[in-house]
Structure 1
Amino acid sequence: MLVWAVIILTANVVVKATSPIPPDNITTNGSQKLATASDCSKPVAFSGTRANIQEGRVILPETLLDQGVGYVASTGIFTTYCPGLYQFSFVGYGDKELRLSLKRKLSKTDSWQPVASTGLGGGSNIVLLRMAVGHQVALFADAGKPDDSTTFSGYRIAKE
């Protein structure tokens, strides 16, 4: 009986020792990165430029600032991992047909809803939004083509 107890305890120790321990600062839920309390105690801010368009969404591959968690330059999407009050701004000019809009997708929904836009030929806008965990924002070109100087920025003003 003692031999079986030793074997079971040894097997349990071996299984626990071989289980990978995730890094302290990154947690995943499926393929989605989740923020830790440490991430959310720091500033969250981003700014991207050098616009190109992919499926109507403006992709800004050159990152001027990426501090904290949430912005993915390759998709142009900011996903909220740290809830709070955020300021988002964008400016863009291009051909005379250009019309830019900031859109938000709430968590657990499939559709992007317009928040703010420019007139024909481009322009700028700035908005304040309360963002909950999982909410996303992105810049879209509803018509026309933006030039390289287009920028999209955001930062958290207050924590929730």
Structure 2
Amino acid sequence: MVWLVMFLTASILAEAAIPDPPTSGVTTVGSLKLATAADCAGVVAFSATQASVDHAKAVFAETLVDKGVGYVAQTGIFITHCPGLYQFSFAGYGSSDLRLTLKRKLNNSDSWRPVVGVGAGGGSNLILLDVEVGDQLAVFVDAGKISDGVTFSGYRIAKK
């Protein structure tokens, strides 16, 4: 009996010493929303308009729809907390040399990579993307000046 108690105690201590698995790198600060299983069970969608440019990235003054988690109005960036198949669209018009690009930054990456763009003079685009937790998407102004009416929207079509 004593050996059984010692064996069980040693097993429990060995399990307690196992470190937690590494995290995905997705963090939230301040007023940003943290996803839970309940958040990812529902709708994830956003739509924003009235853009200005901050360091070549479009930042939207008005959020028309913000359901679920992921869209950060203060930065114009969508951070994927709920992975799946998403539909993203953007549109914008302005100067004759305007070039807009939807860019993606993969989780734990330091660089934004172009996904799809429009130009010259602007236009619109709609794309389906399979995104993972921590991926970020935003609209960038690569050249020219934007006018009123720039939009950025996203909607999760299917869960992973």
Q: Is the 8 A contact 2:47 2:153 kept in 1?
A: yes
Aligned positions of 1:7-18 closer than 5 A: none
Q: C-alpha offsets along residues 11-35 of structure 1, whole Å, 9 cap, x if unaligned?
A: xxxxxxxxxxxxxxxxx95637531
Q: Go from structure 1 to structure 2 and tell me whether the alpha carbon gap of 1:56 and 1:30 turns closer, same or farther (over 3 Å shift).
A: closer
Q: C-alpha offsets along residues 25-58 of structure 1, whole Å, 9 cap, x if unaligned?
A: xxx9563753100000010000000010000000
Aligned positions of 1:58-69 closer than 5 A: 58-69=58-69
Counterpart of 1:43, as a letter, is: V
Q: C-alpha offsets along residues 40-90 of structure 1, whole Å, 9 cap, x if unaligned?
A: 001000000001000000001200100000001110000000000000000
The DSSP-based 3-state class of the residue aligned with 2:149 is coil
What corresponds to 1:104 in structure 2?
104
Q: Name stretches of at least 5 consecutive residues in structure 1 with no aligned partner.
A: 1-27
What is the distance in 2 between the residues matched to 1:74 and 1:30?
13
Q: Go from structure 1 to structure 2 and tell me whether the alpha carbon gap of 1:30 and 1:100 turns closer, same or farther (over 3 Å shift).
A: closer
Regions of 4+ moved over 6 Å: none
In the superposition, the TM-score normalised over structure 2's length comes to 0.80
What corresponds to 1:143 in structure 2?
143
In the superposition, the TM-score normalised over structure 1's length comes to 0.80
What corresponds to 1:37 in structure 2?
37
**Total equivalences in the alignment:** 133
Q: C-alpha offsets along residues 126-150 of structure 1, whole Å, 9 cap, x if unaligned?
A: 1110110000000000001111201
Q: Is the 8 A contact 2:97 2:119 kept in 1?
A: no
Q: Name stretches of at least 5 consecutive residues in structure 2 with no aligned partner.
A: 1-25
What corresponds to 1:89 in structure 2?
89
